[in-house]
Structure 1
Amino acid sequence: MITRSGDSDLRSAAEQWFLRRGLPAVLRPGTLVRGVWSRSAPALAAFAVSMAFSIVIVAVTGKHTIDIDGTPTRTEWFVLVIVVLVAPAAVTVGRVVSRIAHRRRREAVSAASVAVAGLAAVFGGPSARILVDVVVEGAVIVGILLATATGLGSVLGWAASVTLRNLASVGSLLLRALPVMLLTVLVFFNGPVWTMASTISRGRLWLGMLFLFAIAASFLVSSTLGLARPILTPEAKRPEHAQMLVGSPFESMPDRPRRVPLSRPERSNVVVVLALSQIIQVLTVAVVTGGLFVVLGLILISPELLAALTRGSRGDGELLGMTLPIPDALIQLAMFLTALTFMYLAARAVTDKEYRRQFVDPSLEDLLLTLVARDRYRTATVTATTAQGESR
Structure 2
Amino acid sequence: MITPHTSAFWRATLALCLGSFMVFTNLYVTQPLLPMIAEQFGVSALQSSASFTITTFTLGVSLLFYGPLSDAVGRKGIMLFTMCGITATTIILAFASDYQSLLFLRAVQGFFLAGLPAIAVAYMSDEFNADALMIAVGIYISGNSLGGIGGRLLGGFLGENFGLAGTFEFMALLSLVLTMAFFWLLPPSAHFAPKPLRLKPMLVQMGAHLANKRLLLSYLIGGLSFFIFVNQYSFITFVLKDAPYQLSAQFIGLLFLTYLSGTYASAISGKLGKRFSQPVCMMAGTLIIMLGTAVTLIPSLHTIILGLLINAFGFFLTHSTASSWVSLNAQGGKASASSLYLTFYYIGASTGGIYLNVFWQKGYWPSVVLGSWLMLLVILCLGYWLKKIGHSVKSKTS
TM-score by length of 2: 0.30
Indicate the structure with greater helix content: 2
TM-score by length of 1: 0.31
**Between Structure 1 and Structure 2, whose CA radius of gyration is higher?**
1
